[in-house]
Amino acid sequence: MSTKQEKINAVVTERRVKLHRFNPSQREIWTIVGKEKEHWIDPQSNFCSCSGYYFGMIKSNSPCYHLESVFLAKKENKFEIIEFNDDEYESFISGIVSDL
């Protein structure tokens, strides 16, 4: 089993961190493409939609590796930006919520 840091490095190196930017509002949604599904990340709120985030924060107040991957990807500028129009925002959010 790989360590948490190895998982973080793999996510960043494989460019699985995605920034979805909506125009012209400039709203942003971060996601991580996981092995089974996509996870929604809100780095400003220190939130991830994965179950590991929930249990990690309760047990040890430690964020999941997805959230830490976003921070590293931003620091190293290793993420993909995907542009959308604002009129696609609602359907994008619906898709994320249906995956949870």
Mean pLDDT value of segment 52-69: 87
Q: How confident is the model at residue 57 (pLDDT cuts 50, 70, 90)?
A: confident
- pLDDT at 13 > cutoff 90: yes
| Spatial distance between the Cα atoms of 24 and 2, rounded to a whole number of angstroms | 41
pLDDT for residue 37 = 84
Q: Which of 2, 4, 3, 1 is nearest to 64 (CA)?
A: 4
pTM, entire model: 0.87
Mean pLDDT value of segment 11-27: 97
Counting the structural domains of the chain, the total is 1
Token reading at 34: 């996981």
Q: How confident is the model at residue 1 (pLDDT cuts 50, 70, 90)?
A: very low
Give residue 69's domain range.
Answer: 4-99
| Spatial distance between the Cα atoms of 55 and 50, rounded to a whole number of angstroms | 9
